[in-house]
Amino acid sequence: MTPRTPAFASDILALFAEREAALTDIAIIQPADPFLDMAGEDLRRRIFLTESETGRSLCLRPEFTIPVCLDHIESRAATPRRYAYLGEVFRQRREGGAEFFQAGIEDLGAKDRPEADARSLADAHALLSRVLPDRTLSMTLGDQAVFEAVLSALGLPRGWQKRLARAFGSPAMLEAAIAEFTSPQGAASLPRAVASLVARGDEEALTRHIDEAMQASGLSPSAGRLPEEIARRLMEKAELRSVRLSDTALDALKAFLAIHAPLEEAEARLAAFAKEAGIFLDEALEGFAARAERIAAHGLPLTETHYDAGFGRPLDYYTGFIFEIGTEGLGQPLAGGGRYDRLLTLLGAENPIPGVGFSIWLDRVATLREERP
């Protein structure tokens, strides 16, 4: 059954107009490769894939951020620019059905990053407050840039920094990666040809070998991880297998991930952690503090706003500020968003374009509205 446009859509469109975000029209059929490359493993597994007459990999739109960015690049639009959207997205094996509505705003090209971050959070909160006026909303904030700064300051090898950064947002994946780092195991059992290429460090030849093996087995590269990604992961594992995290660094990493505090206290907690661990996070903390000040200036309820050092979202393109908004009694978030400063360059933009945005799950909002007396 196709979901109906939410009855409260007019309230959403009115807020878009007030916030000076232009409503954009994004095609339902999208090129699949950008999502397979950049959207994160959880979303990759849920994409509805198809092919064009020429064999090009296509998919039903699984989210809006990547298509909005592609559209912006293709139209060569000037920045800064704010795009709003309200429409269906399609994901396999999702509770409540495979088609559902999302609404959100993508803010591209704003040079004042702390202000753009705070405005994105304020926009999401304002939209939810308008359509759920009787609900108390709670906000959970994270920051991938702070996490990556901690990894760098602890002196972790670059390969392990990348591995842990990819796992950020998935507690299970992060725990598994840390466990592997603290107790590295011997080489996994690999086919002789693969093991030989890994041992030689020939990533290009390894990629060709994996690609040929997948084609011979009838596996489409668009159905899961790309040969390049598989080869890169195998090379990283081989390089890092002998590296072990020191007890001091492990204790510091665990202490960081355990930080969970009201936003008003978070900067002090992070500064105290850095001092105790003997590391410098000055640049990351300056950006964190500037954003916290802007969030307060937007009048958001700070008593309902918490920072969680281990909080992330399972999308590969995030680079900094990350947030979710929820409400009591609902086990899933109502809204989620964050900063993605590298995404537009990866999608083909000629020059770097900073970006931040959010999406709201309107089916969850509709369920809560129906529960009102």
In which element (H, E) is residue 334 found? none
Least confident of 7-11, 205-209, 326-330, 360-364: 205-209
What average pLDDT is seen over the chain? 87
Q: Does domain 9-149+257-370 have CATH number 3.30.930.10?
A: yes
Render pLDDT for 213-254 as a digit per residue (tens, 0 to 9): 877 776 665 555 778 888 877 777 666 555 666 788 889 999
SS (H, E, C) 178-238: HHHHHCCCCCCCCCHHHHHHHHHCCHHHHHHHHHHHHHHCCCCHHHCCCHHHHHHHHHHHH
pLDDT, mean of residues 3-22: 91
Question: Which of 70-74, 207-211, 248-252 has the highest mean predicted lDDT (pLDDT)?
Answer: 70-74
Which residue carries 């509770």 as its tokens? 95
pLDDT score at 38: 79
pLDDT, mean of residues 99-124: 96
Domain boundaries, the chain: 9-149+257-370, 155-183+244-254, 192-240
| Closest alpha carbon to 270 in 258, 283, 285 | 285
What string of DSSP letters covers 337-370? EEE-TTHHHHTT-SS---EEEEEEEHHHHHHHHH
Question: 0.85 exceeded by the pTM?
Answer: no
pLDDT, mean of residues 154-160: 80
pLDDT of 92 > 50? The answer is yes
In which element (H, E) is residue 83 found? strand 81-90
pLDDT band at 1 (very low <50, low <70, confident <90, very high): very low
Render pLDDT for 305-323 as a digit per residue (tens, 0 to 9): 999 999 998 778 899 999 9
Q: Who has greater pLDDT, 169 or 285?
A: 285
pLDDT of 84 > 80? The answer is yes
